[in-house]
Amino acid sequence: MQQSSVSVIGSGIGGLSVAIRLAISGFGVTVYEKNDRPGGKLGILEQQGYRFDTGPSLFTQPANIEELFALAGEPIEAYFSYRPVDISCRYFFENGKTINAFTKSSDFARQMQEVTGESPEAIEQYLRNSEKVYDRVGNIFLNYSLHKSSTWLNKRIFPALKQTGFDYIFSTLDQFNKLRLRTPEAVQIFNRFATYNGSNPYQAPGMLSLIPHLEQNQGTFYPKGGMISIIDALYKLAIKKGVRFHFGTKVESILTENGAVKGIVVNGEKISSNLVVSNVDVYYTYLHLLQDKISASNVLKRERSSSALIFYWGIAKEFPSLHLHNIFFSKDYPAEFRHLFEYKKMFSDPTVYINITSKMEPEQAPPGKENWFVMVNAPAGSEIFTNELIQQSRLNILAKLKRMMGVDLEPFIETEETLTPGGIEAQTDSYMGSLYGTSSNSKWAAFLRHPNFSSRIRGLYFTGGSVHPGGGIPLCMKSAKIVSELILVSRSK
Ligand SMILES: Cc1cc2nc3c(=O)[nH]c(=O)nc-3n(C[C@H](O)[C@H](O)[C@H](O)COP(=O)(O)OP(=O)(O)OC[C@H]3O[C@@H](n4cnc5c(N)ncnc54)[C@H](O)[C@@H]3O)c2cc1C
C-alpha cells in the first residue's frame, strides 16, 4: 500500500538517506536538488588524470550504509564495497616525531609509548572509556530525537547521564585530556577530535572524548572508488526503490497554511505535499524557503562550526612517507583555535590535513603521481577570503610542509583547484560555509541543536548536518533515520 507523498529538498547524504528510508516504508518520494548531481558536500573533481573527493575524506561507521541496504533487501556488494584501513591517521609534529595511529588499540598504545613516552595503559584506558561513553550516552543522544518526551522516558537515559563523570560536561576537552594523558603529543592528538564536528577543544566539553571511539575502536574504512562511491551507491539504491529525482531544480519556497505544510514552489510552480523534509541548512530553510527571519536569527544564536580552505593538488611525485590520512600539527594549537573562533582569522602556522586516495587506489592519480587533498581549518564566513589571503595561506602551508617534510613541493604541483568557505556556501547553501552546521563549543550544544521537526509547522522535517544530531556522514545518516521514524510514528497516530 502506498503511503502519501513526500517532497525532499536537497540530495546531500541526509536527503538521500531519508528518501530511501521513506520509499522503503511505502511513501512516494520526490527529491528536488539545485545542483546537477546528488551528494551536496560529497563531490568529485577530475583533472588531467587526477581524481579528488572534494568534501569528506574520512569514512567511519559503514554500518549506517549497510543498514539501508539491509532494510531495502538489496545486496550491498552489488552497489558498494569498502575495506578497513589499519592506520587511521599518520600524525606529524614539528619536533620531528611521527605517530601512526593504528586502529588496533594495543599497537597504537605501543607506538605512543615508543615515540612519545606516553603510558600505553593510559591510551588503552582512554579508548575503553570512549567506547563506554559512546555506548551509554552517544547511542541514545545520537539515535533519537532529544526534543520528544519519548526519548526522555527511555529508561536508559538517566542512568546513562548519571554514570557520566562530572568532567565530561564541565571540563573542556583539553582539560579532560590533560587529566588523563601525560605527553603533549597525546593531548594534541585527542584534542584534535573536537574538529570532527568543527569545534574548539579549548571550549567544547570532555563529552567529545567519545569521538575517538569511532576512529580508533570501530575503525576507519576506505570505499572502493573514493567517497563519491557512497553517494553513487545510495543514489542507485534510491532509484531502485522508486525515488524520483529532479536535478538542476532549486526549491524557491515551502508553502504553509494554518500551521501545516502544503507543498513547495519550484520554477514558480506549486507542488502539493503534506510532508516536506528539508535537507538544506536549517538557517537557509527558515530565511529563504519560509521567509521566517525570526526563526533564522534564532538559529544564529548558536555559534557556527568551523569551515575549511582546501587545495586540490595533482602532485607529480610519490611520497612513501605519507599515508591515506596525514596530519601535520600546528606548533601552537591553542593559538590556532583562538584565531579560528575568537579572531575569525587564518593562523600562520595551521594544522595541515592531507588526504591521498591514490595510496589506496593508484588509479586515482596518473602513474608515479599522487592526488593530494590539502585542507586547513578556516573560520566560517566568506568575507575574509581575498585572493591575497588564499595565496598567503597557500604559502604558509608550503612553508610548513617544507619544514616538516624537507621538500619544496611547489615544482611538483601540476594541477590545482581551491575551495573556500564561500565556495562551500555557494555549492550547498550551508550558511557561512560551515562544515557541520553549529559547533559543539558549548556544554549544552547537544541539546541546543535544531530539532528534526518543526514544532510550529505540521509536516515539516529537517535532516542533515545543521540539525540534530549533527554534521559528518554518520550523524547526517542518523538524522535521516530519526526523521523517517518520526514521520512513521506521526502517520500511525
Ligand atoms: C571539505 C569538507 C570536508 C569534510 N570532511 C568530512 C569527513 O572527512 N567525514 C565526514 O563524515 N564528514 C565530513 N564533512 C562533513 C560532511 O560532508 C557533511 O556533514 C555532510 O555531507 C552534510 O550532508 P547534508 O545531508 O547536511 O547535506 P549537504 O551536503 O549540505 O547538501 C545539501 C543539499 O541541498 C541542496 N540544496 C540547497 N538549497 C537547495 C534548494 N533551495 N533547492 C534544492 N536543493 C537545494 C544542495 O545543493 C545540496 O546538494 C566534510 C565537509 C566538507 C565540506
pLDDT tens profile 133-162: 898 888 777 887 777 777 666 666 677 777
| Cell output for 383 | 568575507
Strand order in the sheet with 260-266: 251-257, 260-266, 269-272
CB-CB neighbours of 287 under 10 Å: 18
Tell me which residues of the chain have a pLDDT lower than 70: 1-3, 151-157, 446-447
- What is the distance between the alpha carbons of residues 52 and 419, in angstroms, rounded to a whole number? 12
Residue 393 pLDDT = 98
Place of cell 573536537: 194
| Binding site membership of 32 for ligand 1 (Cβ less than 6 Å) | yes
Question: Is the preceding peptide bond at 469 cis, omega within 30 degrees of 0?
Answer: yes
Q: Is the CB of residue 142 less than 8 Å from the CB of residue 160?
A: no
DSSP H helical ranges for 223-340? 228-240, 282-284, 293-299, 333-337
- What is the distance between the alpha carbons of residues 324 and 347, in angstroms, rounded to a whole number? 25
| Binding site membership of 228 for ligand 1 (Cβ less than 6 Å) | no
**42 Cα: distance to centroid of ligand 1 (angstroms):** 6
**Measured between alpha carbons, how far is residue 469 from residues 13, 64, 436, 458, 472 in Å?**
14, 14, 10, 21, 10
CA angle 265, 270, 276 (to 5 degrees): 60
**12 Cα: distance to centroid of ligand 1 (angstroms):** 5
| Binding site membership of 263 for ligand 1 (Cβ less than 6 Å) | no
- What is the distance between the alpha carbons of residues 454 and 67, in angstroms, rounded to a whole number? 27
| Cell output for 446 | 547537544
End-to-end CA distance of the chain: 17
Q: What would the pLDDT profile of 24-59 be if each residue is shown by its tens digit? A: 999 999 999 999 999 999 999 999 999 999 999 999
| Binding site membership of 10 for ligand 1 (Cβ less than 6 Å) | yes
Mutation probe of ligand 1 site: the residue of 306, 428, 432, 466 with most atoms within 8 A of C-beta: 428
Q: Would you call 368 exposed, middle or buried from its count of C-beta atoms within 10 A (0-12, 13-18, 19+)?
A: exposed
**428 Cα: distance to centroid of ligand 1 (angstroms):** 6
Mutation probe of ligand 1 site: the residue of 196, 278, 280, 356 with most atoms within 8 A of C-beta: 280
Mutation probe of ligand 1 site: the residue of 36, 41, 265, 266 with most atoms within 8 A of C-beta: 41
Strand order in the sheet with 87-92: 98-102, 87-92, 325-328, 352-356, 370-378, 307-315, 413-419
**Measured between alpha carbons, how far is residue 339 from residues 310, 379, 394, 419, 491 in Å?**
18, 8, 17, 20, 48
| Binding site membership of 58 for ligand 1 (Cβ less than 6 Å) | yes
DSSP string of 173-194? HHHHHHHH--SHHHHHHHHGGG
pTM of the full structure: 0.95
Q: Whose CA is nearest to atom 1 of ligand 1?
A: 55
**392 Cα: distance to centroid of ligand 1 (angstroms):** 27
**10 Cα: distance to centroid of ligand 1 (angstroms):** 9
**198 Cα: distance to centroid of ligand 1 (angstroms):** 14
Residue 446 pLDDT = 66
**147 Cα: distance to centroid of ligand 1 (angstroms):** 23
| Binding site membership of 34 for ligand 1 (Cβ less than 6 Å) | yes
| Binding site membership of 379 for ligand 1 (Cβ less than 6 Å) | no
| Cell output for 260 | 501545516
| Binding site membership of 35 for ligand 1 (Cβ less than 6 Å) | yes
| Binding site membership of 11 for ligand 1 (Cβ less than 6 Å) | yes
Q: Where are the beta strands (DSSP E) in 235-324?
A: 244-246, 251-257, 260-266, 269-272, 275-278, 307-315
- What is the distance between the alpha carbons of residues 460 and 487, in angstroms, rounded to a whole number? 10
- What is the distance between the alpha carbons of residues 411 and 315, in angstroms, rounded to a whole number? 9
**29 Cα: distance to centroid of ligand 1 (angstroms):** 20
| Binding site membership of 280 for ligand 1 (Cβ less than 6 Å) | yes
Q: Which atom of ligand 1 is nearest to the CA of 464?
A: 26
Q: Which atom of ligand 1 is nearest to the CA of 436?
A: 19
Cα Rg for the chain, rounded, in angstroms?
22
**471 Cα: distance to centroid of ligand 1 (angstroms):** 9
**454 Cα: distance to centroid of ligand 1 (angstroms):** 21
Number of H helices, E strands in the chain: 19, 20
CA angle 319, 324, 329 (to 5 degrees): 80
**174 Cα: distance to centroid of ligand 1 (angstroms):** 28
